[in-house]
Amino acid sequence: MFASFYIGPMTSLKSTSNIEKSLVQLESCIEELAHTCSRLRQENEALRHRHTELVTERAQLIDKNERARARIESMMARLKAMELDQ
């Protein structure tokens, strides 16, 4: 792994300069990758939190819908019973 970065005595100044430029570019790419990973980690955490909120909200809405349906069915049954009594 480190052998590819070894600068031996026969290495010219020009190739040393190229290696240094390559290392600077590599360092820049690694920093950018680290920043992107951090940003994506934060975004992922926010999305997971939002997902949890939406799942909770959905459960509440389903419950509310079921209660409303039961009330409407009860009212309809009472209205039908009132019609039959008349």
Segment 39-54, tens digit of pLDDT: 999 999 999 999 999 9
Confidence class for position 75, pLDDT limits 50, 70, 90? very high
Q: Is a pLDDT exceeding 60 seen at residue 1?
A: no
Please compute the mean of the pLDDT values over residues 45-67 and round it to a whole number. Answer: 98
Residues 33 and 19: beta-carbon distance below 8 Å: no
Q: How many residues does the chain have?
A: 86
Segment 24-39, tens digit of pLDDT: 999 999 999 999 999 9
Helix/strand number for the chain, H first, E second: 1, 0
How many angstroms separate the Cα of 76 from the Cα of each of 62, 65, 69, 79? 21, 16, 10, 5
Look up residue 27 and give its two tokens.
Answer: 């360092």
Cα torsion angle, 52, 54, 55, 60, sign: positive
Confidence class for position 15, pLDDT limits 50, 70, 90? confident
